[in-house]
Amino acid sequence: MHEAKYQLDQSRAPFLEGLVGYSTEGVIPFHTPGHKQGRRVDSELKDALGFNPFLLDVSDEIFAPDKANDSAAVLREAEALAADAFGAKRSFFLHNGTTAGIQAMLLASSWQFEHGRGDLPKDRPGEVVLPRSVHRSVFGGLVLAGLTPRFVRESWDHTWSIPLPPSPEAWQEAIGEGKGLAAVFDTYPSYYGMGGAVGKTAHLARGVDRPLLVDEAHGAHFRFHPGFPPTALSAGAAAVAQSAHKTLGVLTQASLLHTMDPGFAELMPTVLALLQSTSPSFLLYASLDAGRRQMALDGLELWQRALELAQEARNRINQIPGLLCLGSEVLEKPGVEFWDPTKLLIRVDGLGLSGPESEQRLRQYGIQVELSGLNHILVLITIGDGPEEVNGLVEALRKLASSTEQDAREKMAPLEMPVSGEMLLSPRSAMLSARRQVPFAKAEEEISAGTVTPYPPGIPLLVPGEKITGASLGCLESYWRQGIEIRGWANLGRKTIWVVDDH
Ligand SMILES: Cc1ncc(COP(=O)(O)O)c(C=O)c1O
């Protein structure tokens, strides 16, 4: 549902209003945080942030005496407005990003699995069907929840060097009759804005009576314009986590967890309390409240503008020799059912440049991209952009193209596809095993004890429990040589990684 039919008064932002009310009341704060509404803060920090953030950065003593200082009640009100706006039965504000949301969904499904285990042997861990190319936080969730992955077959797009969503047949094959499964997990959309047939995946999950959990980190805006793919919740997901901070007018780290499932709704407060700080930043909460209101009231108009700008940028980029910006033809690729046109994925290898080289040069021309991959860069257009920003981008790309010498255009190294190894241990056992460091070039045949991840996009090349193959090490080396940041080194200088010691 994209048309704005809400049950509640979406012009309200109770959390933000409560904070602003408290900050103007003149109350003397004998409570955390220690800066006491900005009374004592490092002067450079204060100059950088201004005064207001400190006034609003208070803790849970703030709300008016007539509400019994109950910030939890105001939070519930704000979350109810979010549930109404995002089409959920229940929504939760998250102050540790979508990472916490993903971990919470996996922990909750592990709890449900344990309580419905039936005749499955007690020592058999619950499994989660998921693509291999998930964000590294998912492997963190599997470790915490003691669940094991059952990977669904996915394909790789060689022309763009990115993973594609699994097909419905691949999901069917992996889910089977659902025996031993705790949940089905999908990323929708991908970092690059592509989505598979999420409705069909939800249907398959429902068929075996398991929840479909969705990492919708990059899709918090889908609900607010019909030009975007349907939301995973509207397609039948049981729960989704969204990085509201990635695409909406919301502060970094503020995310949302939405659910349609009453069992999850009941479990979530307990599970989230395990994962998140007891001192949430109220600045984050106020920004979620205000960002939701902005979407409910003006989202359609704001995203219309962003969609038009993105299309204009795409057309102009495609006129620059040597560059190629992906468009709706992406829908012809295997597994791709939906795409988000505000993601500008631009191939730069036609200029003889890698993604990281292009990123560096663009920075010299005053442009910072979202990410660079082996042969591409990714640029995000959001409600924060206007014609001036798009002109700046196109001009910088023109400069990039004209500064590249014609004879350099053939030099691009061949691109390798990430290849994953067999899972020999569960992520949890591997993570908790005795471990040692080995130089990555000598790690073939070892079992990885951690995640090793090019960042962004944050999809691990090695995951805990996986047998390390020569192919995955070759891939790691080529990412590293291209200058893509790798997270998860045991020792960055010596390029060692953690492997399981006693296998
Ligand atoms: C696909 C995907 N999932 C999850 C996350 C984690 O989100 P957050 O940074 O909000 O914790 C990211 C972050 O980049 C991501 O790209």
pLDDT tens digits for 18-66? 888 888 888 788 877 888 888 878 888 888 888 788 888 887 666 665 6
Give the mean pLDDT of 210-226: 97
> Who wins on pLDDT, 416 or 250?
250
Please tell me the predicted confidence (pLDDT) of residue 4.
56
The whole-angstrom separation of Cα 176 and Cα 126 is 15
CA of 407 to the centre of ligand 1 (A): 39
pTM, rounded to two decimals: 0.93
CA of 454 to the centre of ligand 1 (A): 13
| Ligand 1 atom closest to 102 (CA) | 4
| pLDDT band of 99, cuts 50, 70, 90 | very high
Please tell me the predicted confidence (pLDDT) of residue 2.
47
Please tell me the predicted confidence (pLDDT) of residue 1.
45
Please tell me the predicted confidence (pLDDT) of residue 141.
98
Give the mean pLDDT of 80-93: 98
- Residue 409: pLDDT over 80: no
- Decide: 496 and 487 in contact? Cβ < 8 Å: no
Residue 351: CB atoms within 10 A of its CB come to 25
The whole-angstrom separation of Cα 403 and Cα 401 is 6
Q: Which residue from 243, 250, 453 has its CB within 8 A of the most atoms of ligand 1, so it is best to mutate? A: 243
- In sequence order, the β-bridge partners of residue 241 are 215, 257
Which of these, 13, 12, 62, 9, lies nearest to 33 by C-alpha position? Answer: 62
Closest residue by Cα to atom 7, ligand 1, is 98
Residue 208: CB atoms within 10 A of its CB come to 14
Q: Which option is the CATH number for 300-410: 1.10.1740.10, 3.10.28.10, 3.40.50.300, 3.90.1150.150?
A: 3.90.1150.150
The 10s digit of each residue's pLDDT in 434-473 is 999 999 999 999 999 999 998 878 889 999 999 999 988 9
Q: Is the peptide bond before 457 cis (omega within 30 degrees of 0)?
A: yes
- Residue 402: pLDDT over 50: yes
CA of 320 to the centre of ligand 1 (A): 32
CA of 429 to the centre of ligand 1 (A): 24
Domain ranges of the chain: 65-294, 300-410, 427-500
- Residue 133: pLDDT over 50: yes
Fold of 65-294: Aspartate Aminotransferase; domain 2 (3.40.640)
CA of 217 to the centre of ligand 1 (A): 5
- Residue 147: pLDDT over 50: yes
Of the ranges 133-142, 160-169, 234-243, 399-408, which one carries the lowest mean pLDDT score?
Answer: 399-408
Of the ranges 299-303, 340-344, 490-494, which one carries the lowest mean pLDDT score?
Answer: 490-494
How many CA atoms within 13 Å lie on the side-chain side of 64?
Answer: 11
CA of 177 to the centre of ligand 1 (A): 30
CA of 212 to the centre of ligand 1 (A): 18
- Residue 121: pLDDT over 90: no
Q: Do domains 65-294 and 427-500 have the same CATH topology?
A: no
Please tell me the predicted confidence (pLDDT) of residue 408.
54
Give the mean pLDDT of 149-164: 92
Of the ranges 61-75, 270-284, 452-466, which one carries the lowest mean pLDDT score?
Answer: 61-75
> Who wins on pLDDT, 138 or 60?
138
Which of these, 116, 85, 105, 114, lies nearest to 10 by C-alpha position? Answer: 85
In DSSP notation, 236-297 reads T-SEEEE-HHHHSS--TT-EEEEE--HHHHHHHHHHHHHHS-SS--HHHHHHHHHHHHHHHH
- Domain 427-500: CATH superfamily, name plus number: Orn/Lys/Arg decarboxylase, C-terminal domain (3.90.100.10)
Of the ranges 113-117, 178-182, 344-348, 378-382, which one carries the lowest mean pLDDT score?
Answer: 113-117
Of the ranges 54-58, 326-330, 356-360, 465-469, which one carries the lowest mean pLDDT score?
Answer: 54-58
Give the mean pLDDT of 342-349: 96
Of 232-246, 406-420, 476-490, where does the model show the most confidence? Answer: 232-246
Q: Which residue from 98, 218, 277 has its CB within 8 A of the most atoms of ligand 1, so it is best to mutate? A: 98
Give the mean pLDDT of 111-136: 90
Structure tokens at 368: 């910072």
Q: Which residue from 99, 248, 272, 275 has its CB within 8 A of the most atoms of ligand 1, so it is best to mutate? A: 99
CA of 52 to the centre of ligand 1 (A): 28
Pocket residues: Cβ below 6 A from ligand 1: 97-99, 135, 137, 187, 191, 215, 217, 243, 255, 456-458
| Ligand 1 atom closest to 457 (CA) | 16
